Amino acid sequence: MLARVRGLVISCALVVASASAAEAAPKMVKGPYLQDLAPTSITVMWQLDEQVPGKLIVEGPGGNREIDVPADRIVEARIDNLEPSSRYRYRVVVGDATWDGEFATAPPIGKDVPFSFIVVGDSRDGIEQHRRVVERMSQEVPDFILGTGDMVDEGFRQDQWQQFFDVENATLRDNVYFPALGNHDRQGRGRTADSYRSYFSVPENGGETERYYAFTYASARFLVLDSNEYSFALTDQTAWLERELAAARDDATIRHIFVVMHHPPFSISLHGGALDLRERWTPLFEKYQVTTVFSGHDHVYERAEHNGLRYFVTGGGGAPLYPRRPHPNPVDVEAVKKFERTLHYLRVNVTGNHIEVTAIRADGTTIESTAWTDGPAEAPAPAGPVVASVPGAGAPSIKAAPVAAPPPGETTRSLGWLVGGGIVLALGAAVVVVRTMRQ
Ligand SMILES: [Fe+2]
């Protein structure tokens, strides 16, 4: 997996060279980027500056595939029939131009394997600050990335969405991103999520399509909620939430439940804890003993504890940082155990029942690392260390590869991986659905 980090930089340079060589080729505006990771499927999305057809070539276990992709404003190409816990490489081909990426599919549902993920949010329109956070994040090798919302400052501003993807492009080419809907990501009088929905493809298992959803990775269930004012008051999402929590707790293969939503129930920063959330959802989190809750909205790092549950605020993704609230609610004061006004992200390691959340500043230094045991039964000890972390400025964290290593002699991704290799393209080997995007 270390090769994957190095290859990311090399790949970017080669992609530019490849694209520039084709004068008539359309320009890649966004992506390609990865969405909706599952054990046997994933979605690749991209946007060109003109609507032209292309191809998606996938190389990995189960055979190589070439998929015809029709023209669309934003392409959303789902690939099915993949092998779990396996590494694949993909190439988007449009005319003479190509763009490469790679991904690893999720483990089988319920398989108790170590994994890690990043949580980051609130980039909004802080472009250079956002870039600093993402550059530090690029030294990580997570299994996926969770967003706590407010990716842009104004949801109707397509130029801001473009800025978001410009900064994230190299990262999201090889890392699956699961977004939560922030209040600034919405648009119009109806506070719709039109742009958010057009740019992201998430599991469509929520009551209101794609504004909230759930997915399972290994032995953990993730509930990504829409905590905006016009949503969390709706009983349908609350009913859905409780059904999901109950189902996860009844499922013997699910060890952990992680909740992600934009607004924090507890905070001593500018916005403070959301009282409605404390009344409506926090009791459910306690009843079903969720592992932890990740939020954003306040542009700081906070760790809180309330009635035995841990809550993290991670809103340091690039937006202007917030101060402490002059007169915070006493409940928030009692709950918040750690506060820092800084650009940062979270790295979460899950090993059996062991949870470790490390908050990392944009300069690479560690704010703090919090670890605890979640659930009643301990998992079998892993074969080796999951993470070898080196605290201190600029020190990268390198995780052991969860999937098979590249073939001998291959240390980075290369544009030559599909050329001259006698590759057999198994047309139709995958079920591919290219859906027309909702406007
Ligand atoms: Fe917000």
- pLDDT, one tens digit per residue, over 28-48 is 999 999 999 999 999 999 999
**319 alpha carbon to ligand 1 midpoint, in Å?**
10
**28 alpha carbon to ligand 1 midpoint, in Å?**
29
Q: Which residues contact 202 (CB under 8 A, 6 or more apart)?
A: 35, 36, 178, 179, 210, 213, 215, 224
327: exposed, middle or buried (C-beta count within 10 Å: 0-12, 13-18, 19+)? exposed
Comparison of pLDDT for 6 and 50, the residue scoring more:
50
**262 alpha carbon to ligand 1 midpoint, in Å?**
7
**122 alpha carbon to ligand 1 midpoint, in Å?**
7
Residue 439 lies in a domain: no
Using the predicted structure, report yes or no on whether residue 200 has a pLDDT greater than 60.
Answer: yes
Does 346 lie in the same domain as 299?
yes
**322 alpha carbon to ligand 1 midpoint, in Å?**
12
**pLDDT, position 196:** 95
Does 358 lie in the same domain as 212?
yes
**263 alpha carbon to ligand 1 midpoint, in Å?**
7
Does 267 lie in the same domain as 145?
yes
**184 alpha carbon to ligand 1 midpoint, in Å?**
6
Structure tokens at 260: 């992600």
**348 alpha carbon to ligand 1 midpoint, in Å?**
22
**pLDDT, position 25:** 75
Comparison of pLDDT for 230 and 316, the residue scoring more:
316
Does 165 lie in the same domain as 188?
yes
What confidence tier does 92 reach under pLDDT thresholds 50, 70, 90? very high
> In terms of residue numbers, what domain contains 245?
115-399
Does 95 lie in the same domain as 54?
yes
5: exposed, middle or buried (C-beta count within 10 Å: 0-12, 13-18, 19+)? middle
Structure tokens at 332: 């928030």
Structure tokens at 210: 């794609």
**50 alpha carbon to ligand 1 midpoint, in Å?**
33
Provide mean pLDDT across the span 43-61.
97
Does 132 lie in the same domain as 86?
no
Using the predicted structure, report yes or no on whether residue 290 has a pLDDT greater than 70.
Answer: yes
**pLDDT, position 297:** 97
**320 alpha carbon to ligand 1 midpoint, in Å?**
12
Residue 23 lies in a domain: yes
Cβ–Cβ contacts within 10 Å for residue 257, how many? 23
Comparison of pLDDT for 433 and 60, the residue scoring more:
60
**61 alpha carbon to ligand 1 midpoint, in Å?**
41
What one-letter code names the amino acid at 194? D
CATH number for the domain spanning 18: value is 2.60.40.10
Does 189 lie in the same domain as 81?
no
**193 alpha carbon to ligand 1 midpoint, in Å?**
14
Q: How many domains does the chain have?
A: 2
**82 alpha carbon to ligand 1 midpoint, in Å?**
36
> pTM value?
0.83
Phi and psi (nearest 5°) for 245?
-65, -45
DSSP H stretches of helix in 251-324 = 275-280, 282-287
**pLDDT, position 378:** 55
The whole-angstrom separation of Cα 373 and Cα 353 is 5
